[in-house]
Structure 1
Amino acid sequence: MQISKHTDPRDGSSCELLFDENDNWLRAIWLGYVDPDEAYDGASRFLAAMQQLHCPYLLNDNSQLQGPWFDSVEWLHKVWGPQAQRMGLRCIAHVVQPQDLLAQAVGTRQFFGPDLQLQLFDDVASAEEWLRAQQRLPTAGARQ
């Protein structure tokens, strides 16, 4: 089920947010060259959706991005992450693009803390497999 989609009329870049009813997770799909304003907007639309859904799982797909994705890794770490966690997010499967700044930042420290897992993947299939495994863990049911 599509929750939102924003396409930049200037260059066709987009962020689409879906609720995957079969797998019970949110899926954000980023395409093209997403400028910082588009990135903040897409991340903020995710938080707005979380106010309604309180879904513990997110597949964030950056595999089709071009250029730098987001200039504010600190904002993700200090603002977005804590808000998403308060609304119930527990697991993020992040499919990276080459030169992903988030992947570089995550490599240097525990990014969000122990109650919000972030796992990086090179392909969507591996990310989906990991999220399904997280859902099968005994504590996953208690978090939903």
Structure 2
Amino acid sequence: MHIVTNIDLRDGSTCELTYDENNQWMRALWLGYIDPQEAYMGASNFLATMQTFHCAYLLNDNSGLRGPWFDSVEWLYHVWAPQAARLGLRFIAHVSQPHDLLDQAAVLERHPLSGALQVQLFDDVGGAEEWLQEQHTQMMQASK
């Protein structure tokens, strides 16, 4: 189900947020060159959506990005992540930009997210989807 798409009319970059009803996860798809304002807007839209959906799973797909993504790791760690965790997010499958996986892994190692969030980095969407499905299955089995 489509939730929101933000398109920068200057360069066509986009952030699209959808909810996959079959898998019960949200997907944030980032394409093009995302400037800091677009990044804040996309991340904030996710938090606003979580007010309604309370989804435990996020597939954050940066594989279609060009250039640096976000200049405020501090904001992500100290504002966004705690809010997302309070709203029910537990698992983030993050698909990195091509050739950016090691850099993003180093950032996560230096700045771990909220203890309530588990983040796994991937270089392909298929691996991210598989990991989220595994997390969902484990959560469902644990709740029985």
Question: Given the two structures, how large is their TM-score scaled by the length of structure 1?
Answer: 0.92
Distance (whole Å) between structure 2 residues aligned to residue 141 and residue 17 of structure 1: 28
- Equivalent positions of 1:118-129 (< 5 A) are 118-129=119-130
Distance (whole Å) between structure 2 residues aligned to residue 45 and residue 129 of structure 1: 25
CA separation of 1:118 and 1:47: change in aligned 2, threshold 3 A? same
Give 1:79 deviation, angstroms: 0.3
Q: CA RMSD in A?
A: 1.6
What SS does the aligned partner of 2:114 have?
A: coil
Which position in structure 1 is the counterpart of 2:107? Answer: 105
CA separation of 1:4 and 1:138: change in aligned 2, threshold 3 A? closer
What are the Cα deviations for residues 59-104 of structure 1, in whole angstroms up to 9, with x where unaligned? 0000000000000011100100000000000000000013366433
Moved >6 Å (runs of 4+): none
Distance (whole Å) between structure 1 residues aligned to residue 19 and residue 141 of structure 2: 18
Number of equivalences: 141
Q: Which structure 2 residue ranges, 5 or more long, are not aligned?
A: none
What SS does the aligned partner of 2:11 have?
A: coil
Which position in structure 2 is the counterpart of 1:57? Answer: 57
Amino acid at match of 1:99: D
1:96–1:120 CA contact under 8 A, matched in 2 = yes
Distance (whole Å) between structure 2 residues aligned to residue 12 and residue 122 of structure 1: 24
Distance (whole Å) between structure 2 residues aligned to residue 59 and residue 49 of structure 1: 14
Greater shift in the superposed pair: 96-105 or 58-67? 96-105
Q: Which structure 1 residue ranges, 5 or more long, are not aligned?
A: none
What SS does the aligned partner of 1:52 have?
A: helix
Distance (whole Å) between structure 2 residues aligned to residue 12 and residue 105 of structure 1: 28
Distance (whole Å) between structure 1 residues aligned to residue 139 and residue 2 of structure 2: 29
1:12–1:32 CA contact under 8 A, matched in 2 = yes
Distance (whole Å) between structure 2 residues aligned to residue 29 and residue 81 of structure 1: 18
Give 1:141 deviation, angstroms: 6.0
CA separation of 1:140 and 1:65: change in aligned 2, threshold 3 A? farther
What SS does the aligned partner of 2:110 have?
A: coil
1:134–1:140 CA contact under 8 A, matched in 2 = no
2:33–2:66 CA contact under 8 A, matched in 1 = yes
Distance (whole Å) between structure 1 residues aligned to residue 88 and residue 76 of structure 2: 16
Amino acid at match of 2:93: A
Distance (whole Å) between structure 2 residues aligned to residue 58 and residue 49 of structure 1: 12
Amino acid at match of 2:132: L
